[in-house]
């Protein structure tokens, strides 16, 4: 990771794929601890808020895309449970953490890329993705695959860091961007992985642009909800 090219604007697909692989392999053991530390535990509340957009009134088939250590699925099984969730992630070490966390549930854990989903078309009622999209090598391909694997009227839900829309939050976010790599160095002995985190947030499209991207991928009835004045946002698109 030491000499990785962290300038995401000038990086080849192959370099990004390797970078992302190395980042999550290296942070996997500390991933949950660092998430709690860096967000003051807020990411848990955001994820609960996100899962509240899923309609559990009848049994749903859900794909947890870029599932990482399995937080979303855990929230779903602990709070709602009327569903059948499949977890997919490209990183073995992250999925190993998810398997540990969710060992009491009988679930499918699949190591695969979002850009090439190993499912037939129209399989899922929901494809949900928290803090995954900005890491994809080919976001367009991943969105097309999400669309393909959704049933008609199925929904794609995305929780991602976004662009704050007022000055105090903009300033706070800028300061935060400088502190996070230092925290990564002190608490996880990995400054570069957390520099990547900040770079990937900076290079991700803002709320409006991401809504347009979803539209370009044929999603309908697009909704966008800001969290904490746009520090993060939830996008929803329907097939």
Ligand X SMILES: C[S@@+](CC[C@H](N)C(=O)[O-])C[C@H]1O[C@@H](n2cnc3c(N)ncnc32)[C@H](O)[C@@H]1O
**DSSP conformation class of 206:** -
Interface positions, 86-125, toward ligand X (CB under 6 A): 89-91, 94, 113-115
CB 105 within 8 A of CB 84: no
Q: Check residue 137 for interaction with ligand X (CB under 6 A).
A: yes
Q: Least distance (Å) from ligand X to the CB of residue 104?
A: 19
Q: Check residue 24 for interaction with ligand X (CB under 6 A).
A: yes
Phi/psi at 212 (nearest 5 deg)? -65, -40
Q: Check residue 127 for interaction with ligand X (CB under 6 A).
A: no
The pair of three-digit structure tokens given for residue 209, joined into one six-digit string: 């642009």
**DSSP conformation class of 227:** E
- Local structure of 106: helix, strand or coil: coil
Q: Residue from 46, 50, 124, 131 that binds ligand X (CB under 6 A)?
A: 131
- When the beta carbons of 68 and 230 are compared against ligand X, the nearer one is 68
- When the beta carbons of 92 and 153 are compared against ligand X, the nearer one is 92
**Candidate ranges 5-13, 55-63, 69-77, 218-226; the one touching ligand X (CB under 6 A):** 69-77
Q: Check residue 157 for interaction with ligand X (CB under 6 A).
A: no
Ramachandran quadrant class, 155 (left: phi over 0; alpha: psi -120 to 50; beta: rest): beta
CB 93 within 8 A of CB 25: yes
- When the beta carbons of 132 and 184 are compared against ligand X, the nearer one is 132
Among all chains, which residue has been given the structure tokens 């969105």?
143
Interface positions, 206-235, toward ligand X (CB under 6 A): none
CB 83 within 8 A of CB 56: yes
> Which residues of this protein are in contact with ligand X, per CB under 6 A?
20, 24, 66-69, 71-72, 89-91, 94, 113-115, 130-132, 135-137
């Amino acid at each position: 990771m030491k000499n990785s090219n962290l300038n995401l604007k000038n990086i080849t697909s192959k370099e990004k794929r390797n970078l992302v692989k190395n980042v999550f392999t290296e942070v996997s053991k500390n991933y949950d601890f660092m998430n709690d530390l860096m967000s003051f535990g807020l990411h848990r509340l955001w994820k609960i808020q996100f899962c509240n957009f899923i309609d559990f009134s009848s049994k749903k088939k859900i794909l947890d895309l870029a599932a990482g250590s399995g937080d979303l699925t855990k929230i779903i099984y602990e709070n709602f449970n009327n569903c059948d969730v499949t977890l997919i992630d490209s990183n073995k070490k992250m999925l190993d953490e998810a398997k540990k966390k969710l060992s009491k549930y009988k679930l499918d854990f699949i190591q695969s890329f979002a850009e090439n989903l190993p499912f037939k078309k129209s399989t899922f009622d929901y494809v949900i993705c928290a803090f995954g999209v900005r890491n994809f090598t080919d976001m367009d391909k991943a969105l097309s695959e999400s669309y393909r694997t959704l049933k008609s009227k199925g929904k794609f839900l995305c929780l991602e860091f976004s662009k704050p829309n007022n000055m105090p939050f903009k300033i706070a976010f800028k300061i935060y961007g400088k502190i996070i790599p230092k925290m990564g160095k002190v608490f996880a002995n990995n400054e570069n992985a957390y520099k990547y985190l900040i770079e990937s947030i900076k290079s991700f499209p803002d709320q409006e642009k991401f809504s347009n991207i979803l539209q370009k991928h044929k999603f309908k009835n697009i909704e966008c909800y800001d969290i904490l004045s746009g520090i993060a946002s939830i996008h929803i698109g329907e097939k």
